[in-house]
Amino acid sequence: MKRVDINYVLSILLLLSISVTGILGYIQSQLELRKFIPHRYFAYATLCLAAVHIYFNGGKLWRYLRQKMKGK
């Protein structure tokens, strides 16, 4: 699997994870559940996916920010 493919898969998984976390958070809020375990686990999964996504795209982000700082 190429790095670009991994990046797209990570992006899709991150979007799905964020959506499910939001939906479960809404359900937790509406049903007034104090410790709703699925919401917590999806939030942890989202954080992990975000960290891996930033790891793969950190160079691009850093180059973009440096370019914008020089352009000022």
**Cα 50 to Cα 7: distance, rounded to the nearest angstrom:** 11
Q: What is the pLDDT of residue 23?
A: 96
Q: What is the pLDDT of residue 1?
A: 83
Question: Where exactly are the structural domains of the chain?
Answer: 3-70
**Cα 17 to Cα 19: distance, rounded to the nearest angstrom:** 5
Q: What is the pLDDT of residues 11-59, one digit of tens each?
A: 999 999 999 999 999 999 999 888 889 999 999 999 999 999 999 988 8
Whether residue 71 has pLDDT greater than 80: no
Q: What is the pLDDT of residue 72?
A: 64
